[in-house]
A and B are shown apart, each in its own frame.
Chain A
């Protein structure tokens, strides 16, 4: 089953333009809103590239590295970064990331996805309904 997933994505059954276009949309969202862009990439990879959720999550995380680097640099040039706060948040998140990865590897896909979606809705309501 794992081999089948590999072939689906690696053997060119999905045009390379699909992930490039997904990246472009995610990158604009990332730079515009200060998020990684996984919020865009994960559902689009699942829908248009046939990725299973675990793979979509992990792969989008890899793409987030250069995307966030470009965005952070652009904001830094404009002087829009609070470095002390960034340092404190980074220390905490580096501790939390391995914990999250361990939990992800054990949980079922449906539950994981539903939890993620509920989180997104909750934050959205808070932003649009202050």
Chain B
């Protein structure tokens, strides 16, 4: 049991850094379905776990230069206000309503993300595949051949 929860945490950590999310997407369903937690309790617990996970992820990304702190601060400004309102709202809603909202958000966002991903894959293939990625220590430039989001 304890080992299983820690193992789930490892998976959550990988996803968190990989996709720039806090990992709540995995944790809330895991706690509700596998651990039998009540929906509200799962959400609160998820948010607490996200905190150290996100800090750790930011530190890793910062070393690679991907984090824009200017934009991050603006996001946090609106986000903090929103998080407070959202949490108060969640505490007033039923578990069933929250699960449906959760599923709808995931489905809509997922479709959008997949469309983007497929477009990126097609674009990269059209320009030409990166030559034989035999790279063991691929430290050399990984710049994409062209950025599809360049034009305005």
Contacts and interface: CB of A to CB of B under 8 A. Distances in A.
Bound together: yes
Interface in B25-64: 25-29, 31, 33, 35, 37, 40-58, 60-62, 64
Interface string B118-152: 11111110000000000000100011100101101
B116 A113 contact: yes
B90 A34 contact: yes
Contacts of A102: 60
The dominant DSSP class at the B interface is helix
Contacts of B68: 9-10, 51, 55, 58-59
Contacts, number: 481
A33 B89 CA distance: 10
Contact of A81 (B29, B45, B55, B73): B45
B147 A52 contact: yes
B100 A81 contact: no
Given A21-B78, A89-B9, A97-B60, A31 B53 contact: no
Interface string B1-44: 01001111111111111111111111111010101010011111
Contacts of A85: 5, 31, 35, 37, 45
26 contacts: A25-B78, A27-B81, A33-B24, A42-B21, A57-B66, A59-B20, A59-B72, A62-B61, A63-B72, A65-B76, A68-B48, A75-B90, A92-B7, A93-B49, A96-B9, A98-B13, A100-B16, A100-B18, A108-B144, A112-B19, A119-B19, A120-B25, A124-B106, A124-B107, A125-B103, A126-B33
Interface of A: 1-2, 4-5, 9-10, 16, 19-43, 45-46, 49-72, 74-76, 78, 80-83, 85-86, 88-106, 108-121, 123-128
